[in-house]
Structure 1
């Protein structure tokens, strides 16, 4: 037998080792011990990872008739502009009379839209409240509740849909930062729920109320942290049959094109959802390490993992359960979510309305519902979507704060 040259022998050993490692990696799940070992459990050892990050904002086009005409909805549905020239509409709510309200955080106003003849197009718009950086809206017990960065207000609703003088209920919510867009709703328990996003992409927050959902009494008193470890949960709501609370949390940026996925969480009292140390299906975030002697594994053990995930960087905004009678029966108790659209990705995702299917009270999958806002071969868009609400007639309304349009989707 011929002897193998030492250099060749060393090369073969390296090749065999590399192939063995490749086979090992291919056979491992993300949560296997092999991957866990790549990130040390304490700061006694260095942490290193390589991530490719992108910034890509598609160019902006106007919401022309030609652009709107090529929007895609499922068979049997139609879409039209319910209102335009509405500034930068964000959150949408509808009262029992069919008046539609939207917040414009940049202008600091709440606008009422009226479709008196019921043709699916608003004929009148009127400013009904002026509050600096107003964003979240909800209607409860005949009153409008509005939340800014630091404050919560209530206002009586007049017979004509206008609002009385806002009364401040809370004035000390945490300061904003990267995520100042508070949202608000009342649950089946008659309590007030307020979302408070993180001030950063990934960090240890100094204020425990940041990256949480808070709960308070109807008058704003007795405020407590309901759930935490939520980076930025703007869209949330209670399933109409089970009364379970569900929300969509924004994933961490700068982890690559396909990380972190957006999360669908069943939000329970006193639960921790992992941010900033644990994300997705139990993955470690190498960008922010646990402080002190707490390890990643200990955080993972106390983290409530998502029930479902969605394409990273899609930026989920408002979420609304469908309880109307206009759409086909299979839509009942499913949820619609506005995916605002990516910026931290090499090619755009989101920019659409999606339907979240629920089976036996649990989310099981997503389907596209309204698409087509990305045009010019993925290089431009004419809508970044924010608010979602069901109109009194059962149609679906959603807002675009890029071109100041509110759209209406109806079933023939």
Structure 2
């Protein structure tokens, strides 16, 4: 696997490489390899004990890419380049599988100066990157991975608050770019109507509008393959105990709907601070309540043909896992089965990142992406990896 950086960073890397060369002369007979700041992460990531992961019979999981520090949102380019965002650092990655073996061959760091580039989307040859308060566009990016063009600022008037400020972005079937704005707190009311919402706009940044309200912190959404309706995960508030409120999977049936935050959680639970202001009946109830504090992020309806028929049309969800519960929960891929456009069951599909006995964790799933062959990629911002789940008939 080759790891490179774009030409915009070459001067910095050249200085580092020159210094390293002085110390490597005595090892000239060793195999040559490119050394970057990512090398240690690659070495560490190979220790991931993926044999602990549990899947239904016939499924298997492999590492697609390693050493992707804080791997978050994913988007696929027209020519097969996998773009990966980052929340903890300032990088965006371009990953290439040049020989078609479903393992990364080249990893390119596009830039190291982004401000929380969690959100990634791709459309018409252009890469869209969401920072906290603005959206950037890189045109014809796959032809210029080693020398990216100057980005076009698509929109730069989102709030600058960091709390829940990282964004997940995606283009809908209507051609609009959907961008959430998380609540700037655990629980609060805000005079700025942009907070706790999902917005949408034209690809050039014009005609921005609020599409859904009362959304505390969604970091994953998708559209139903048949109805075209938006389904999104939402992270429930903290500090109400281990078992309430639930996190949520929601379904938007028309623009302007309100999903309860900060007044009502899980469809029926009044908030202890704000719940007396409005009854829960005033808001749209979740399509499916998920586990409390599971931190659901990426969600995708399965539309491929590799997995058995029983999985098609149902929603996979990446549960990032709890951070302040007395015993950890989540750290898995769950499956919500949907019939007649309604959620009918909620179950585990893939787990094992969390050892429930020791409470130790080696991975936290973030986003999901379906490949053309029907297999599914999973990003992991704790294990710094991208996994591939596939299925083979016995």
Calculate the TM-score normalised by the size of structure 2: 0.83
Aligned to 1:354: 334
Structure-2 separation of matches of 1:73 and 1:167: 42
1:154 is matched with 137
Matches within 5 A, 1:5-404: 67-130=49-112, 131-160=114-143, 162=145, 163-267=148-252, 268-288=254-274, 295-297=277-279, 300-375=280-355, 377-404=357-384
After superposition, give the CA deviation of every residue in 1:352-407 in whole Å (9 maximum; x if it has no partner).
11122111222222221210011271421001121211123221111111121111
Contact 1:258 1:312 in 2 (8 A): yes
Contact 1:94 1:390 in 2 (8 A): no
- C-alpha distance in 2 between matches for 1:262 and 1:305: 12
- Structure 2 CA distance for partners of 1:184 and 1:393, relative to 1, 3 Å: same
**Which runs of no fewer than 5 residues in structure 1 stay unpaired?**
1-61
The answer to which of 200-209 and 360-369 deviates more is 360-369
Deviates more, 1:244-253 or 1:116-125: 116-125
Residue 244 (structure 1) shift: 0.9
Determine if contact 1:280/1:306 at 8 Å carries over to the other structure.
yes
CA–CA distance in structure 2, aligned partners of residues 66 and 183 of structure 1: 26
> How many residues were matched structurally?
345
* Structure 1 residues 311-340: Cα deviation after superposition (integer angstroms, max 9, x where no partner): 100000111222222212222222221100
- Report the Cα distance in structure 2 between the residues aligned to 1:93 and 1:191, rounded to whole angstroms: 16
Residues 159-180 of structure 1 deviation map (CA, whole Å, 9 limit, x = unaligned): 5473533210111101234212
Q: Which structure has the higher relative contact order (CA within 8 Å, separation 6+)?
A: 1
Q: Which runs of 5+ in 2 are unaligned?
A: 1-43
2:296 & 2:288 partners in 1: Cα distance?
13
User: Between Structure 1 and Structure 2, whose CA radius of gyration is higher?
Assistant: 1
Q: Once superposed, what is the RMSD of the aligned Cα atoms?
A: 1.8
State the partner residue of 1:53. Answer: none
SS at match of 1:183: coil
My pick for the range that moved more, 184-193 or 124-133, is 124-133
Paired with 1:158 and 1:175, the residues of 2 have a C-alpha distance of 27
1:192-220 Cα deviation digits (max 9, x unpaired): 21011111111111311000001111211
Whole-Å separation in 2 of the counterparts to 1:270 and 1:175: 24
Aligned to 1:17: none
Q: Decide whether the 8 Å contact of 2:267 with 2:284 is kept in 1.
A: no
